[in-house]
Structure formats: structure tokens, C-alpha cells
């Protein structure tokens, strides 16, 4: 007993054209720029949360960048602290335990003053919305 299945496919050329236009959009820098706009939201929020403004190095160290390109894939984007500009950022974010000199004299502890993690938590939904809307614009523009 054998089964026979017939499939009638129509519109393959149109579907192929749409898929190719989508792939060319994903390969473009438009996607990278959308990702970067999301990273910039985090950077801006973190800058607003930095409280110690003695020299401004910590605030100036916040960056939003595109990652390095790996093969044919598009680059991702990230927000971070440039440790060369502000090597003390992790101490500011997390604080320190009580410290002592060799003589035993207490230097004290530095309380944590988080700025980056709360910025990420606070703006997570905004970043998701920005990236989603940006990618929708790209897809709508490429599939015509």
C-alpha cells in the first residue's frame, strides 16, 4: 500500500524575493545602528545616575559602542564603563569592605553607590521597545 502526496506551491518567486530582501536588510548597518541606539539609552540613564562629580571621569567613562565584526554577522552593541578612563568604577558601583593599614589603623569602607546596574534594570523595557520598533522599521522598509 503506497501513499502519494502532491503539493502545489504558488508564489515561490515572490516569497524568494522577500526573503532575499530581508537577508540584505539584516546584513546592513541599519541593524547595527538600531542596536547602538538601545545601548545609548542605557548609557544616558547611567550618566544621570552617577552621583560623585568631583572630576567627572566616571561620567565621561560611560560608552555605547558597536562590537567588532565577526565574519559575516552584523555587530552587536553594548554600553559599558571604559576602565582606562575610570579604573575605580567597580569600587563606586559595588563599594568596598572595611580596609586597614599595616599598622592596623582603619581606613574605613566605601559604601556602594550603584549607577550602572540600576540603569540597566530601569531602562530594560525602553531598550527592548527601541530595538523592536527599529527592527520592525527595517523589515517593513525592506519587504515591499
DSSP per position, 18-42: HHHHHHHHHTSHHHHHHHHHHHHHH
End-to-end CA distance of the chain: give it in Å, rounded.
Answer: 46
Dihedral Cα 128, 91, 87, 33, nearest 10 deg:
0
From CA 24, how far away is CA 115, in angstroms rounded? 38
Q: How far apart are CA 130 and CA 105, in angstroms?
A: 51
State whether residue 97 is helix, strand or coil.
coil
Residue pair 122/41 in contact by the 8 Å Cβ criterion: no
Asked whether 58 and 86 are in contact (CB, 8 A), the reply is yes
Q: What is the pLDDT of residue 142?
A: 64
Residue corresponding to grid cell 504558488: 10
pLDDT at 15: 77
- Spell out the domain ranges in the chain: 13-82+115-142
Q: Which residues have C-beta within 8 Å of that of residue 123, sequence separation ≥ 6?
A: 41, 42, 45
Q: How far apart are CA 121 and CA 45, in angstroms?
A: 10
Res 144: pLDDT: 53
Q: Confirm whether pTM is higher than 0.85.
A: no
pLDDT per position in the chain (144 positions), as tens? 567 766 677 777 887 877 777 766 565 688 889 999 999 999 999 999 998 777 889 999 999 999 988 877 778 899 999 999 999 999 999 999 998 888 989 988 989 999 999 999 999 999 999 999 998 888 777 655
- Give the model's pLDDT for residue 137: 87
Q: 137 with 31: CB under 8 angstroms?
A: no
Amino acid at each position: 500500500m503506497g501513499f502519494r502526496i502532491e503539493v502545489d506551491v504558488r508564489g515561490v518567486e515572490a516569497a524568494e524575493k522577500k526573503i532575499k530582501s530581508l537577508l540584505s536588510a539584516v546584513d546592513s548597518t541599519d541593524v547595527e545602528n538600531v542596536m547602538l541606539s538601545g545601548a545609548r539609552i542605557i548609557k544616558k540613564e547611567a550618566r544621570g545616575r552617577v552621583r560623585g562629580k568631583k572630576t567627572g571621569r566616571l561620567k565621561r567613562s560611560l560608552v555605547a559602542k558597536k562590537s567588532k565584526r565577526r565574519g559575516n554577522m552584523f555587530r552587536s552593541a553594548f554600553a559599558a564603563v571604559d576602565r582606562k578612563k575610570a579604573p575605580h568604577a567597580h569600587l563606586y558601583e559595588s563599594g568596598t569592605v572595611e580596609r586597614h593599614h599595616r599598622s592596623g589603623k582603619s581606613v574605613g569602607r566605601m559604601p556602594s553607590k550603584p549607577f550602572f546596574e540600576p540603569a540597566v534594570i530601569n531602562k530594560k523595557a525602553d531598550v527592548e521597545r527601541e530595538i523592536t520598533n527599529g527592527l520592525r522599521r527595517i523589515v517593513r522598509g525592506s519587504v515591499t
